[in-house]
Chain A
Amino acid sequence: MSLAALRAVEVDYARGPALGPFTLELAVGEIVALVGPSGCGKSTALRLLAGLEAPSRGQVLRDPGRGETAVVFQAPTLAPWLSARANAALPLELAGTGREEARRRAGQALARVGLAGAEEARPAQLSGGMAMRVSLARALVTEPKLLLLDEPFSALDEITRRALADDVLRLWQALQPAIVFVTHNVEEAVYMASRVVVMTPGPGRLAGDFAVEGALPRPAGFRTTPEFRRSVEAVSHALAAGMAA
């Protein structure tokens, strides 16, 4: 069953074409990684899926209603004047949920991302990884059907980003949202996604669409298995071929 789709969408900015024509079908509960070189329109595709932008041509189909889509950006984008709890409660409060209830559910969302005890901390007092977890808690607090991640871990160190990748998979297992995430990192894409979509340099088109073998979330040591290496090779090859074309 399709949850959202981009059908032959194209986006033009003042400086020229940014995306497409590009087509992507998204099924309920699947995890798709969008991989491509800088400036290929990955983030634009994500904003189309979020309904934050309209395509110049083509069609965007979205099943999730208001409040059922969540976005996590490259930076944590937290409000510095609010506590972690108030930041995580924001989506609910904006939608009209009572303050008490919103804060209670925000506390649960923070606990889910491993931040129990840090509820009253301000963003300035949190490490980069912790701030990103607050951002993730804010995205999950509405229990969205569609979770969009725009290079969410690119500013973090390798150990933190691997820990967060496992956290996201664990949360996915619990809540089963469809996830689309944008990344430069092929290994991260293969590790986290059930499907990797490769894009050409901008304006991005489809350069390849790969199903990744193996169950989600990944078992320990998945990164050393032959399936993992094979998928990484295939995606890297498609990426290189797209660059050369």
Chain B
Amino acid sequence: MRRALEIAAPWALIALLIGGWEIACRALQVPPYLLPPPSRVAEALVANLPALLSAAWRTLTVAIVALVIASLIAQALAVLVALSPILDRTIRPLASVIQVTPVVAIAPLFLIWAGIDHPERALVALAVVVAFFPIFSGAVAGLKSADRDLERLFVLYGASRWQTVSRLRLPSAVPFLLEGHKVGAGLAIIGAVVAEFGAGSGGVRGLAWQILDAGNKLQTDRMIAALAALGIMGVALHGLLGLAEQAGLRWWRGG
């Protein structure tokens, strides 16, 4: 009973909010360009479904490509940092600069570099910048998380530096890497969307472009429909990565 209530409660709240929204729009006769009722948003969602799906696919592709690139760079750098304290001191400040720089602020620069013909390259690069940090810091923390006594045993048995990294530190880092990738994937989507906004209407026609375009035409219902699509995509990706993380941890621990 309690369990059923726990599952039902968030859905009940969503239903309540949407219901209230619908009733308020009708009762107060809010102009649809200002706030369309959810029924009109649903209509817009159905009417624009093919366009929204392909837009979502473009945004998702950018985010996934960015995630893969960010993952490779972040892990390679983290291993270098783990191997050498000097490199640690060299790379760390730069990584922090990347973390604190707002992606909106560097978007115009990246778009210039990518050139007018390839705005998608700028989008990927910007999403890489955002997704990089959680993976990097997770990997660095993970590489340092090895059991100290286990590290002593590696010293005792004369393990080389590379053996210590490949057979102790990297495997110890797996839970941290899984967590870092989960956070990084969410940020890659945010990075891709923010970069699309930066690129404006001339950019890649992803979900952010749909939002911008609908806004320019004052199609508020289509705008909210695109937002909803973005939200659904984010939640689905987060859920999927949560499952992947659990599966990864089960594999790592052996059930």
Which A positions have Cβ atoms within 8 angstroms of B?
Answer: 47, 50-52, 66-67, 69-71, 73, 75, 77, 79-83, 90-91, 94-95, 121-125, 142
Could you name 15 residue pairs across A and B whose Cβ atoms are closer than 8 Å? A50-B156, A52-B155, A66-B158, A70-B156, A75-B149, A77-B153, A79-B168, A79-B172, A80-B253, A91-B157, A94-B157, A94-B158, A124-B253, A125-B254, A142-B157
CB contact list, B125-161 vs A, under 8 A = 147, 149-150, 152-159
Q: Could you tell me if A52 and B152 are in contact, using CB atoms closer than 8 angstroms?
A: yes
* B254 neighbours in A (Cβ, 8 Å): 80-81, 83, 121-125
A73 to B159 alpha-carbon distance, docked (Å): 18
A79 to B150 alpha-carbon distance, docked (Å): 8
Give which listed residue, A52, A80, A83, contacts B156 with CB less than 8 A: A52
Q: Could you tell me if A80 and B252 are in contact, using CB atoms closer than 8 angstroms?
A: yes
Q: How far is the CB of B222 from chain A (nearest CB, A)?
A: 49
Q: Would you call the interface of chain B mostly helix, strand, loop, or mixed?
A: helix
Other A-B pairs beyond A51-B156, A67-B158, 4, CB < 8 Å:
A79-B171, A81-B174, A95-B158, A122-B253
Closest to A93 in B: B167
Q: Could you tell me if A124 and B158 are in contact, using CB atoms closer than 8 angstroms?
A: no
* A75 neighbours in B (Cβ, 8 Å): 149
Closest to A150 in B: B149
Q: Is B93 an interface residue (CB 8 A)?
A: no
Give which listed residue, B155, B171, B255, contacts A122 with CB less than 8 A: B255
* B174 neighbours in A (Cβ, 8 Å): 81
* A124 neighbours in B (Cβ, 8 Å): 253-255
Q: How far is the CB of A64 from chain B (nearest CB, A)?
A: 11
Knowing A81-B171, A124-B254, say if A90 contacts B157 (CB, 8 Å): yes
Please list the 4 inter-chain residue pairs (A to B) with the smallest Cβ-Cβ separation, ordered nearest first.
A122-B254, A77-B149, A73-B149, A94-B157
* B153 neighbours in A (Cβ, 8 Å): 71, 77, 90-91
Q: Could you tell me if A94 and B252 are in contact, using CB atoms closer than 8 angstroms?
A: no
* A95 neighbours in B (Cβ, 8 Å): 157-158
Q: How far is the CB of B208 from chain A (nearest CB, A)?
A: 40
A51 to B152 alpha-carbon distance, docked (Å): 10
A142 to B155 alpha-carbon distance, docked (Å): 15
Closest to A91 in B: B157
A81 to B153 alpha-carbon distance, docked (Å): 16
Q: C-beta contact mask, B224-255 vs A, less than 8 Å → 1, else 0?
A: 00000000000000000000000000001111
Q: Is B163 an interface residue (CB 8 A)?
A: yes
A230 to B158 alpha-carbon distance, docked (Å): 43
Q: Could you tell me if B156 and A69 are in contact, using CB atoms closer than 8 angstroms?
A: yes
A70 to B159 alpha-carbon distance, docked (Å): 14
Q: Could you tell me if A77 and B147 are in contact, using CB atoms closer than 8 angstroms?
A: yes
Closest to B150 in A: A77
* A125 neighbours in B (Cβ, 8 Å): 254-255
Q: How far is the CB of B157 from chain A (nearest CB, A)?
A: 4
Q: How far is the CB of A144 from chain B (nearest CB, A)?
A: 10
Closest to B163 in A: A94
Q: How far is the CB of A4 from chain B (nearest CB, A)?
A: 14
Q: How far is the CB of B37 from chain A (nearest CB, A)?
A: 53
Q: Could you tell me if B154 and A71 are in contact, using CB atoms closer than 8 angstroms?
A: no
Q: How far is the CB of A131 from chain B (nearest CB, A)?
A: 13
